[in-house]
């Protein structure tokens, strides 16, 4: 009996992964070996072999178990532990900086910042807030004062670079009612309203759509950003998905709240969105159209496209048997772009299981709940982000996706081709009859025009 193995060993890991992600992947790398050992024990036959695993590969894996890995990540988050590591930057870890810079600049800054942020791990949030206020705001103001095309393009590129981390910082803000300590509550409430329009967001729309809507519906059929009614590896369906959100979310979200009899939310979400558009119109027509285009309009367009591309990648692989399971309607990514630069956004299944869980605790939760992920047949990938997940799905490159899958549970015994075919089944469109059966929703009757 052969036990297929995936290419998942420390030598293949991206060196820019966070320390917690490295621990998670090293832990998961032992999953096939543990499964193989279990298979060998159960079969008790000499014919059972574990191919493709050399002695060097086995020795390359650290001798650890779940408990030691859990304690390792817990220590990284515990300010009382000597191994505690606050996140100061997304690009570098503090320990990797030159000693002089670390001792005379970074450590004094960290001592100050830990009293400003809500949790001592979150110094990076203050770093980002100060950076955006020091760069993005003055740059946008200068565009309106003295516009040049060169400056406009540079400003847009900078905004594109920052909008992902800003959005995920805002994501933490809206789920946990802020990121700064109580002493700085006024700044905590104010900075999103200053920065949101410059980073491609309209005021409060992310909160209303994401917290009050998406997490209530969980990619179900009533979710305006649900993927279940689409064939999720078809370009036409994807373009329809993005286009609908871009053109109609301003009216569909208030109407959704009205259908749910949440009239205050309908009024608030509708008024704030229209007020945003009115402000953009006034800036474009009464102040400077070119500056408004590069500082506000283009970031808004790019952000909303990016959010839909990301959401498609997060929720494209939906189980055909249990589409309402958080384990089977979302995925987990262990990659640099999602977790280092965007505050562990790759742990999307964990986030849906508990939207208020702190971002630094997501890898810890994953290892603590690994048995549930295994039993739930969750999908875990490495070395791919949500954007490339969407791209590869539309390209129907399931072999590439299978190569990125980190196998757990029964997936360990599947070949790469079998995994690719399994992933293909997760992108099938749900008919209204399927939705009625799986989600308990009434069937929408569609009348054939020929009749």
| pLDDT tens, position by position, 303-358 | 999 999 999 999 999 999 999 999 999 999 999 999 999 999 999 999 999 999 99
Domain assignment of residue 2, yes or no: no
| pLDDT tens digit at each of 451 positions of the chain | 333 444 444 446 788 999 999 999 999 988 766 655 455 445 554 444 444 555 555 555 555 578 999 999 999 999 999 999 999 999 988 888 899 999 999 999 999 999 999 999 999 999 999 999 999 999 999 999 999 999 999 999 999 999 999 999 999 999 999 999 999 999 999 999 999 999 999 999 999 999 999 999 999 999 999 999 999 999 999 999 999 999 999 999 999 999 999 999 999 999 999 999 999 999 999 999 999 999 999 999 999 999 999 999 999 999 999 999 999 999 999 999 999 999 999 999 999 999 999 999 999 999 999 999 999 999 999 999 999 999 999 999 999 999 999 999 999 999 999 999 999 999 999 999 999 998 876 544 333 333 3
- Direct distance between the N- and C-terminal alpha carbons of the chain, in angstroms, rounded to an integer: 57
Phi, psi of 267 (to 5 degrees): -65, -45
> What does the block give as tokens for 378?
């969750």
- Which residues, 6 or more positions from 286, have their beta carbon under 8 angstroms from its beta carbon? none
CA quadruple 345, 351, 352, 356: dihedral, nearest 10: -130
Please name which of 97, 93, 96, 127 lies closest in space to residue 109, comparing C-alpha atoms: 127
pLDDT value of position 380: 97
Alpha-carbon distance of 373 to 410, in angstroms, equals 11
Tokens of 337: 């772009």
Would you say residue 125 lies in a domain? no
Half-sphere exposure of 223 (CA within 13 A, CB side): 24
List the beta bridge partners of residue 180: 117
Distance, CA of 202 to CA of 274 (rounded, Å): 9
Q: How far apart are CA 299 and CA 146, in angstroms?
A: 19
Return d(Cα 212, Cα 379) in angstroms, integer.
26
Q: What is the pLDDT of residue 137?
A: 98
Q: Within a 13 Å sphere around the CA of 272, how many CA atoms are in the beta-carbon half?
A: 21
- Statement: the pTM of the whole predicted model exceeds 0.75: yes
Largest CA distance in the chain: 82
What tokens were used for 333? 């990514």
**386, part of any domain:** yes
The b/e string for 183-221 (b: 16+ C-beta within 10 A; e otherwise) is ebeebbeebbeebbbbbbbbebbbbbbbebbbbeebbbb
Q: Which residues contact 16 (CB under 8 A, 6 or more apart)?
A: 336, 340
List the helix and strand counts (H, then E) for the chain: 24, 2
Nearest CA among 197, 311, 192 for reference residue 245: 311
Alpha carbon 92 to chain centroid, angstroms: 20
Given the structure tokens 């959100």, which residue do they identify? 245
Residues shown for the chain: 451
Residue range(s) defining the domain that contains residue 34? 10-78+320-432
d(CA 386, CA 5): 24
User: Is residue 135 in some structural domain?
Assistant: no
- Structural domain tally of the chain? 1
Gap between the Cα atoms of 295 and 108, Å rounded: 34
Q: Is residue 133 part of a domain?
A: no
- Indicate whether 402 belongs to any domain: yes
Cα(441)–Cα(210) distance, rounded to whole angstroms? 22
User: Tokens in use for 221?
Assistant: 């059929």
Element (H, E) at 183: none
Q: What sections of 176-283 are H helices per DSSP?
A: 185-195, 205-206, 215-217, 235-259, 263-282
Which residues lie below 8 Å from residue 273, measured CB to CB, with a gap of 6+? Answer: 202, 205, 250, 253, 254
Q: Hey, what are 280's tokens? A: 């953009």
| 314 belongs to a structural domain | no
380 φ/ψ angles, rounded to the nearest 5 degrees = -125, 135
* Alpha-carbon gap, residue 427 to 432, rounded angstroms: 16
- The backbone torsions φ and ψ at residue 316, rounded to the nearest 5 degrees and listed phi first, read -80, -30
Rounded distance between C-alpha atoms, residue 296 and residue 293, angstroms? 6
- Is 300 within a domain? no
């Amino acid at each position: 009996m052969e036990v297929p193995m995936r290419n998942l060993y420390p030598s293949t890991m991206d060196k820019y992964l966070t320390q917690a992600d490295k621990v998670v992947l090293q832990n998961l790398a032992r999953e096939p070996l543990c499964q193989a050992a279990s298979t060998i024990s159960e079969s008790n036959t000499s014919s059972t072999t574990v191919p493709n695993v050399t002695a060097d590969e086995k020795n390359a894996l650290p001798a650890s178990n779940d408990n030691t890995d859990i304690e390792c990540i817990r220590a990284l988050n515990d300010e009382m532990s000597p191994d505690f590591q606050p996140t100061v930057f997304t690009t570098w870890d503090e320990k990797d900086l030159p000693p002089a810079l670390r001792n005379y600049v970074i450590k004094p800054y960290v001592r100050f910042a830990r009293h400003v942020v809500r949790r001592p791990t979150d110094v990076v949030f203050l770093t980002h807030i100060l950076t955006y206020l020091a760069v993005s705001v003055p740059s946008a103001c200068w565009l309106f004062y003295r516009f040049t095309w060169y400056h406009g393009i540079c400003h847009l590129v900078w905004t594109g670079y920052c909008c992902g981390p800003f959005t995920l910082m805002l994501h933490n803000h809206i789920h946990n009612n802020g990121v700064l300590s109580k002493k700085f509550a006024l700044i905590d409430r104010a900075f999103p309203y200053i920065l949101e329009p410059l980073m491609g967001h309209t005021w409060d729309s992310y909160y209303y759509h994401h917290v009050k809507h998406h997490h209530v519906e969980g990619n179900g059929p009533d979710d305006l950003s649900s993927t279940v009614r689409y064939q999720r590896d078809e370009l036409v369906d994807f373009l329809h998905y993005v286009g609908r959100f871009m053109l109609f979310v301003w009216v569909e979200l208030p109407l959704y709240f009205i259908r749910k009899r949440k009239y205050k939310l309908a009024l608030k979400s509708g008024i704030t969105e229209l007020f945003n558009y009115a402000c953009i119109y006034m800036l474009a027509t009464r102040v400077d159209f070119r500056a408004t285009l590069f500082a506000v309009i283009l970031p808004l367009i790019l952000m909303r496209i990016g959010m839909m591309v990301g959401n498609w990648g997060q929720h494209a692989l939906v189980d055909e048997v249990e589409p309402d399971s958080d384990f089977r309607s979302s995925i987990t990514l262990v990659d640099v772009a999602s977790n280092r630069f965007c505050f562990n956004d790759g742990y999307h299944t964990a986030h849906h299981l508990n939207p208020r869980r702190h971002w630094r605790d997501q890898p810890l939760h994953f290892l603590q709940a690994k048995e549930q992920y295994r039993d739930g047949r969750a999908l875990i990938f490495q070395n791919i982000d949500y954007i490339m997940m969407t791209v590869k799905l539309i390209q129907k490159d399931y072999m590439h996706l299978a190569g990125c899958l980190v196998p757990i549970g029964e997936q360990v015994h599947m070949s790469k081709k079998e995994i690719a075919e399994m992933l293909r089944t997760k992108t099938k469109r749900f008919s209204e009859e399927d939705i009625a059966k799986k989600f308990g929703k009434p069937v929408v009757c569609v009348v054939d025009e020929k009749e």
